[in-house]
């Protein structure tokens, strides 16, 4: 029986790997480069998490999300965050309608948050009150309006974008909301060859097209497979030691953490590392998480969860550099 279960799980891994490759292949028909970005975004989706995309304007953030919506058979909704956006513009509200008898009654009119794939465009342009309207949906997969709780359809995936340059007129995301994003994904400027490819695809008379390769039900099945991937105790211990080393009060933290970090990462950071590492293992057709899987997912999982000290901000400390030194200082195994 155990052998049968093992064989069945291996077939699920093979199917996961094939469908994952198909999704990446279709997205790559439109998106040039950004391979690591695509993998990290899919890691969030398949881990039942959410992604925060950061990059300068015109680098492909919105196009990536829209393309993902086309490749996956999911309901898609775009919310353009602006300073005057109200919470009810996101969640929906009760409206008065006339019934058949001529009377009037309240009926809930759903907002754009009721979709499988949500593009929260330039989320840091909205006020904190409006940003918090997304918080319950991200964490609980529910929306509460007028003391009534409404369930969201699964899968539910928020892809929020923010521009790191235009700070005037923006509201930094509060730490509680940042912590809800499984990964923070950075989009960088394309290389010269990639820029030429972009021009070839976007300035000619033919527009790249994609086809749907996975349904909502298939995404839910793939999310279930992710949870079944094994991770050994000593690998979990490695994750725990990495996260604890981001705290300046820890005896294992390197000097740069004690100097530049005010608060380290929460346990959600450790959960994010493990889940993203499980997706990475499945991409390679493996049923267990390796040390390399963990090391590859630490930066996107933790870069938005560390709160820099005044000295760190004044020195312009880079969270990725701090994480790099943490990784260098933590051995993969320890002698007992």
Task: Output the CA angle 297-298-303, nearest 5 degrees.
Answer: 120
Listed by start position, the domains of the chain span 11-228, 230-336
Which pLDDT band holds residue 95 (cuts at 50, 70, 90)?
confident
Omega of the bond leading into 191 within 30 degrees of 0 (cis) = no
Q: So what's the pLDDT on residue 321?
A: 93
Q: Is the dihedral of CA 190, 194, 195, 198 positive or negative?
A: negative
Q: So what's the pLDDT on residue 282?
A: 96
Of 28-32, 74-78, 289-293, 305-309, the one with minimum mean pLDDT is 28-32
Q: So what's the pLDDT on residue 37?
A: 87
Q: Are 189 and 37 within 8 A, CB to CB? A: no
11-228 shares its CATH topology with 230-336: no
Query: Under CATH, domain 11-228 is a member of which superfamily?
Result: P-loop containing nucleotide triphosphate hydrolases (3.40.50.300)
What mean pLDDT value characterizes the chain?
86
- Mean pLDDT over 21-47 rounds to 88
Q: Is the pLDDT of residue 1 over 50?
A: no
| CA of residue 132 relative to chain centroid, distance | 17
Kindly report the CATH number that applies to the domain delimited by 230-336.
1.10.8.80
Task: Output the CA angle 60-65-67, nearest 5 degrees.
Answer: 90
Q: So what's the pLDDT on residue 193?
A: 82
């Amino acid at each position: 029986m155990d052998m049968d279960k093992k064989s069945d799980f291996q077939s699920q891994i093979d199917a996961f790997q094939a469908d994952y490759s198909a999704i990446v292949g279709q997205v790559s028909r439109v998106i040039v480069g950004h391979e690591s970005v695509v993998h990290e975004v899919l890691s969030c989706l398949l881990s039942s998490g959410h992604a925060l995309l950061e990059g300068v304007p015109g680098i492909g953030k919105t196009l990536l999300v829209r393309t993902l919506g086309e490749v996956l058979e999911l309901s898609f909704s775009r919310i353009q965050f602006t300073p005057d956006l109200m919470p009810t513009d996101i969640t929906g509200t009760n409206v008065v309608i006339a019934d058949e008898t001529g009377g009037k009654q309240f009926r809930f009119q759903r907002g754009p948050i009721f979709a499988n794939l949500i593009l929260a465009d330039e989320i840091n342009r909205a006020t904190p009150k409006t940003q918090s309207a997304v918080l319950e949906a991200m964490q609980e997969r529910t929306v509460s309006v007028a003391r009534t709780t409404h369930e969201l359809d699964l899968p539910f995936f928020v892809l929020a974008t923010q521009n790191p340059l235009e700070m005037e007129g923006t509201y930094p995301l509060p730490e509680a909301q940042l912590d809800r994003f499984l990964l923070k994904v950075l989009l960088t400027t394309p290389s010269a060859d990639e820029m030429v490819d972009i021009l070839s695809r976007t300035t000619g008379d033919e527009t790249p097209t994609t086809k749907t390769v996975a349904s909502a039900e298939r995404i839910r099945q793939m999310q279930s497979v992710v949870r079944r991937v094994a991770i050994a105790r000593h690998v979990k211990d490695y994750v725990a030691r990495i996260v604890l080393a981001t705290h300046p009060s820890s005896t294992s933290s390197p000097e740069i953490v004690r100097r530049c970090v005010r608060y380290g990462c929460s346990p959600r950071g450790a959960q994010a590392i493990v889940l993203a590492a499980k997706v990475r293992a499945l991409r390679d057709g493996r049923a267990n998480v390796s040390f390399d899987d963990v090391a590859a997912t630490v930066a996107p999982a933790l870069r938005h969860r560390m709160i820099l000290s005044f000295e760190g901000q004044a020195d312009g400390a880079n969270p990725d550099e701090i994480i790099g030194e943490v990784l260098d200082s933590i051995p993969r195994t320890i002698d007992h």
